[in-house]
A and B are shown apart, each in its own frame.
Chain A
Amino acid sequence: MTKIALENVAKSFGSNHVLRGVSLSVEQGESMVVIGGSGTGKSVLLKCILGIISHDSGQILIDGKPQGRDRDAFLAQFGMLFQGGALFDSLTVWQNVAFRLLRGPAKLPKAEAREVAIEKLRRVGLRAEVAEQFPAELSGGMQKRVGLARAIAAEPAIIFFDEPTTGLDPIMSGVINELIREIVVEMGATAMTITHDMSSVRAIADKVLMLHDGQVQWQGPVDQLETSGNAYLDQFLHGRADGPIEAVR
Chain B
Amino acid sequence: MPLILFANSVLASIGRSVLDLLAAIGRLTLFCASALSHILRPPFYPRELFQQIMRIGWFSLPVVGLTTLFTGGALALQIYAGGARFNAETVVPSIVAIGMVRELGPVLAGLMVAGRVAAAIAAELGTMKVTEQIDALTTLSTNPMKYLVVPRVLAATLTLPLLVLIGDIIGIMGGFLVGTTRLGFNQAVYIQNTVDFLETWDVTSGLLKAAAFGFIVALMGCYHGMNSGRGAQGVGQATTNAVVSASILILAANYLLTEAFFAA
Where the two chains meet, the residues of A that have a C-beta atom closer than 8 Å to any C-beta of B are 47, 50, 52, 71-72, 75-76, 78-80, 82-84, 86-89, 99-100, 103-104, 150
Contacts and interface: CB of A to CB of B under 8 A. Distances in A.
Contact of B131 (A80, A86, A150): A86
Contacts of A83: 132
Contacts, number: 47
Interface in B125-140: 128, 131-133, 135-140
19 contacts: A47-B135, A52-B135, A52-B139, A75-B138, A75-B139, A78-B139, A82-B132, A82-B136, A84-B131, A86-B132, A86-B136, A87-B136, A88-B133, A88-B136, A99-B140, A103-B43, A103-B141, A104-B43, A150-B140
A87 B128 CA distance: 9
Contacts of B138: 50, 52, 75
Interface of B: 43, 128, 131-133, 135-142
A100 B142 CA distance: 8
A75 B141 contact: yes
A55 to B, nearest CB: 16
A80 B141 contact: no
Q: Which 8 A-B pairs have the closest CB atoms?
A: A86-B136, A86-B132, A75-B141, A72-B141, A80-B139, A82-B132, A100-B140, A86-B133
A103 to B, nearest CB: 6
A47 B128 CA distance: 17
B141 A104 contact: yes
Contacts of A99: 140, 142
A52 B133 CA distance: 13
Nearest to B48: A90
Contacts of B140: 75, 99-100, 103, 150
